[in-house]
Amino acid sequence: MADSSFDVVSKVDRQEVDNALNQAAKELTQRYDFRGTGAGIEWSGEEAIVITADSEDRVNAALEVFKEKLIRRDISLKAFDAGEPAASGKVFKVTGSLVQGISSENAKKISKKIRDEGPKGVKAQVQGEELRVSSKKRDDLQAVISLLKGEDFGIALQFVNYR
C-alpha cells in the first residue's frame, strides 16, 4: 500500500487579499471619521501594500480596518506583515507585505516538531518552500495536522494535497 501524504504550505490567495484591500479602500472613503484625513490604501508592487493618512492615529485606524477585512475573508494576520507608521513629509505611511512560503529555518522547526512529538513512522521532507509529510496511516497524518494547528510557528500554515 502506498504512503498517504499532505503538504504544509504558507500561501495567500492574492484575489482574496485584493478583495479585502478594495473593501477597506471603499470603507475609508465612506466613513465619517476618515473624511478629510487623506486616508488611502493601495498596492505597491506585487506583494507590498501602502496605507497613508495625515496623522499617525488615522493611519493606524486605517490599518485596523484592513486587518478586519482580512479576517473576514479568512486570511490569517500572520500572512500580513505591517511595518511601523513613518512620517513622509506631511503624510504618515505604513508599508506592509504579504508573507508567503515557509523559510528553511521554519521548515526545520516544523519537521523537528513532527519528529519529536508526532506519531512514529511519520516522515517530513522539505521541498522548496513547502513541507511534505507522509505516513502509512492516515490517522497519523490527522494527528500531525492537529499537532501543527496547536503550535505557533509565526507563519500562517495551510494543509493541501491530502491523499
| 118 in the same domain as 86 | no
Tally of domains in the chain: 2
pLDDT of residue 2: 66
Find cell 506585487 and name the residue.
Answer: 46
Q: State the CB neighbour count (10 A cutoff) for residue 62.
A: 25
- Extended strands (E) in the chain: 4-9, 40-44, 48-53, 80-82, 86-88, 91-98, 123-127, 130-135, 158-160
52/22 same-domain check:
yes
138: CATH = 3.30.70.860
Q: What is the pLDDT of residue 88?
A: 85
Domain that holds residue 18: 14-98
Determine the pLDDT at residue 30.
94
pLDDT 10s digits, 11-46? 999 999 999 999 999 999 999 999 988 999 999 988
pLDDT tens digits, 53-99? 999 999 999 999 999 999 999 999 999 999 999 998 899 999 999 98
| Residues 91, 27 share a domain | yes
Q: Identify whether residues 68 and 27 lie together within a single domain.
A: yes
